[in-house]
Amino acid sequence: MCSSTGSRIPAHRPPAGPAADGHLRVGDTERDHVTLLLGEAFTLGHLTIAEFETRCGQVPRAVTRQDLQNLLGDLPADRVGRMVSAGRMSRKAAALRGVRIHLFCYLGAALIMLGAWPAIALMFNAWYFWPVWPIVGGGVGVLSHALPVRLIFSAHRPRFA
């Protein structure tokens, strides 16, 4: 998967250090990731239907990292994992594009309100700064859209497989 700096760890080579221990237990996140990698290997033609079904049947029973490594060990690391990473990157780009559009619409509306306020204040001699409320409310909306997107895409992803 991709790290925050954009570098990519090969699809089934464990990181160096204590985390490389094949006897560490795995969780559902790692099992799901291996299932995605097996699906990609099947899509690319590296596995037959029977091999794919057999290996996918073994994934839920995997207890350690070594169990999962054994399922991926004979697959080409340079090819398997690209589609999973590419899909994640395209979802991230779409989510960030949505936040950017939301932000620009918010800023445009805020500028219109700030421009309308002096005109309305002069016409009706009402100098209460009413744009503060829709600007604050819209800002809360933009933040509640942007923060979850940032948190989701900066969350730790399994890197061993």
| Number of domains within the chain | 1
Report yes or no: 91 and 4 within 8 Å, Cβ to Cβ.
no
- Establish if 62 belongs to a structural domain: no
What pTM, to 2 d.p., does this model score? 0.53
- Using a pLDDT cut of 70, give the percent of the chain over it: 81
- Establish if 97 belongs to a structural domain: yes
Regions of the chain where pLDDT drops below 70: 1-22, 84, 155-161
pLDDT at 4: 42
pLDDT tens string 23-66:
888 888 889 888 888 988 888 888 999 999 999 999 999 899 89
- Establish if 78 belongs to a structural domain: no
pLDDT at 8: 42
Kindly give the residue spans of alpha helices, DSSP state H, lying in 6-160: 28-43, 49-58, 65-72, 82-124, 132-154
- Using a pLDDT cut of 90, give the percent of the chain over it: 43
Structural domain that includes position 144: 90-154
Tokens of 150: 């940032």
DSSP string, 75-98: S-TTTTTHHHHHHHHHHHHHHHHH
pLDDT at 75: 86
- Establish if 48 belongs to a structural domain: no
Tokens of 158: 């399994």
pLDDT at 156: 54
| Closest among 85, 70, 61 to 14, alpha carbons compared | 70
Residues constituting the chain: 161
Cα–Cα distance for residue pair 68/72, rounded to 1 Å: 7
- Establish if 13 belongs to a structural domain: no
Cα–Cα distance for residue pair 35/30, rounded to 1 Å: 9
